[in-house]
Amino acid sequence: MQVHITKRSANAKTGKMPVTTTESTSCPTTCPHIDGNCYAKSGFHLRNHWQKVTSHERGGSWSDLCEYIRTLKPKQLWRHNQAGDWGYVTDDQGRELIRLDLLKSLVDANKASQARGYTYTHHKLDYLHNLEAVKYANNNGFTTNASCESLTQCDDVIKHGIPAVCVVDNSKEVPTHTPEGTKVVVCPAQTSDTNCKDCGLCAQSKRKCVVAFLAHGNRAKKLNAKLSTFVQEL
């Protein structure tokens, strides 16, 4: 699995901290945004970078990544996968299951350095294998947020003790709570003068809120339309 390490992000919203990019084959084909609404594909620079990682023109091995993470200072905040997801294997029933060898090795490296790693996943968590894998990461100091398509879906994963995030329509008022009463907080980096490095909300696995990301960028209108279909399908 090819992965690239940016030791100091130049992205203003992210802040100056380490971030990684994993080849696109790590993304589950069940991700509803894989058809073109993916943010990692919307901007030229990240899209180009991701393509080069996927073609192995940039980056290195997973073991190189784990070795680097072990060198981070305690409490160092870092983001895994500005593009990409946990790699997977497909079983004989066609289910895409998170590769435990990759997940556990990175979780262990993060734990060894006492760094504060966090990421997001679009893998299907109604598969027990994936649910337990994500639980393992969160229970061992590596925050893995479930990327959800609706606040109702957020409620479903929160019941399992997994932190949830959700993209919301930027043309509508954002609900203050999910249907089952969990507080909804719009990403502070979108509403105030801060960045991911200084905020750290998404790295808190035990937080008592859903983080909502306002649809933004040159594909916001298309994404808003897509979000409305998710609500209708529930």
Tell me the average pLDDT across 50-70: 98
Question: Higher confidence at residue 33 or residue 142?
Answer: 142
Residue 138: its pLDDT value, please?
A: 98
- For residue 65, which of 105, 28, 101, 27 has the smallest C-alpha distance? 105
List the domain boundaries for the chain. 3-233
C-alpha to C-alpha distance for 65 and 3, rounded to whole angstroms: 7
Q: Which of these ranges, 23-32, 73-82, 164-173, has the smallest mean pLDDT? A: 164-173
Would the pLDDT of 176 be above 60? Answer: yes
Over residues 2-31, mean pLDDT: 96
Q: How far apart are CA 226 and CA 37, in angstroms?
A: 9
pLDDT in tens, 126-165: 999 999 999 999 999 999 999 999 999 999 999 999 999 9
CA atoms of 43 and 220, how far apart (whole Å): 12
pTM for the predicted model, two decimal places: 0.92
